[in-house]
Amino acid sequence: MPTVTNKRTVMTLFSDPECIYSHRVRLVLAEKNITVDIISTDPLDLPEDVAEANPYGTLPTLIDRDLALYESRIIMEYLDERYPHPPLLPIDPVSRANTRLYLHRIEKDWYSLADEILAGGKGATRARKELREALLAAGPILSARPWFMSDEFTLVDATIAPLLWRLPQLGIEISGAGSRQLLDYAKRAFARECFGKSLTEQEKELRK
């Protein structure tokens, strides 16, 4: 395991300004109003701090004193545990485990399709169709309560919202059955103060 030499007095996030995985971490940081130094980083030109701390050379990478974390979901859960207010994971073990399962499924079922679309290639058209259908099918779940199966904004919402923001970039138009439920959910998420604060200039351009 790499040894992190602490060169910074403030928690630092090395963030790809266009990456959905970095975006969801920035959204959690904004929701909790955490003091952090966010450094926009080119994934093809990593600074020495990231190269030393992260053996995989991926973004986002969080450095907090002598701790280095480099998987977005691990970073999100760490932030929620270290800064417990407002809580973004349920308190009881069963609900917490279910939330982690939802996060896993969104990553495997939705984020993987988004990654495939952005990568281009022969599978992009199929992935675009599958993702659109999956999001529309989730409409009733997203409209049943203010947030994803919850009355409070959670890590699941902090994962879904950045994906919905990127629908124009992904070439996905939401219309037809179930679209109103999905669009209403997206509108609520985008209206949150933390969401606006989480956006980079590059991400703002996705909706202009």
Alpha-carbon gap, residue 94 to 101, rounded angstroms:
11
Alpha-carbon gap, residue 114 to 20, rounded angstroms:
9
Q: Is 126 helix (H, G, I), strand (E, B) or coil?
A: helix
78 contacts 69 by C-beta, under 8 angstroms: yes
19, 50, 76, 106: which one is catalytic?
A: 19
Tell me the CB-side half-sphere exposure of residue 16, using CA atoms within 13 A: 17
Instruction: List the beta bridge partners of residue 68.
Output: 63
Tell me the CB-side half-sphere exposure of residue 40, using CA atoms within 13 A: 8
19 is catalytic: yes
**Pairing mode, if any, of strands 37-40 and 67-69?**
unpaired
90, 93, 101, 129, 135 from 22: Cα distances, Å: 23, 27, 20, 25, 21
Catalytic residues: 19
